[in-house]
Copies of this chain bind each other. A is one copy, B any other.
Amino acid sequence: MFYTIDILGTIAFAISGVLVAMGKKMDLFGILIIAFVTAVGGGTLRDLLIGNTPVFWMEDMTYSYIIIASSVFAIVFRNKINYLRTSLFLFDTIGIGLYTVVGIEKGINAELHPIICVALGTMSACFGGVIRDILCNEIPVIFRKEIYATACILGGVTYFLLSELPIEDNIVFVVAGVVVITTRLLAVKFKIALPTIYRE
């Protein structure tokens, strides 16, 4: 079940990488790299910071296969992919929900402080997109206008609040993920964004 969600998230992230890379007129190799980095970049950074090496996608080939297949699909159907926009948005949103909670649990296993665990969860979910934007020479979009990281942080806080209560671990896991997903969906539906801040 979690594995299925993980795969859906990976598909959505890889395709978002392909779309951004095509917008920059990259060649086939560039597109594949951007797809890969978008899909696994956040988890890779998490694993490096904890010291969990070789990093996760080196030891489970499923990620590589999914990313390559999704990229080929997105390239072939590039002029029709708009029809899938809603599905991709949903996959992506469900993906960040899962990645956030998985990142938190990796932090807990490494016996890190709750705040650091929430940071790791957010990083797992968001930094693939950050690295994608840096490689494409853009200021990362999540630093500017999306309730994306904020959703992950809220989910992370929920996780630790609930785990203080006598609730089963699986339920905590699911509820925290659902908080991430719901926050993001509501923010997009009602066009809520964090304020940008600048000096007068």
Interface residues in chain A, defined as those with a beta carbon under 8 Å from any beta carbon in chain B? 21-31, 33-34, 44, 48-51, 53-55, 57-59, 61, 64, 75, 78-79, 110, 112-113, 115-116, 119, 130, 134-140, 142-145, 149-150, 193-200
Q: Smallest CB–CB gap between A134 and chain B, Å? A: 6
Determine the residue in chain B with the shortest Cβ distance to A68.
B115
Q: Smallest CB–CB gap between A114 and chain B, Å? A: 10
| CB contact under 8 A between A24 and B139, given known A29-B194, A61-B115, A115-B61 | yes
Which one of A119, A195, A197, A200 has the highest number of Cβ atoms from chain B below 10 Å of its Cβ?
A: A197
Q: In the complex, which of the residues B29, B134, B150 contacts A29, with contact meaning CB atoms closer than 8 Å? A: B150
Q: Smallest CB–CB gap between A50 and chain B, Å? A: 5
A25 to chain B: which residues have CB within 8 Å? 144, 196, 198
Report the separation of the CA atoms of residues A51 and B44 in the bound assembly, to the nearest whole angstrom: 12
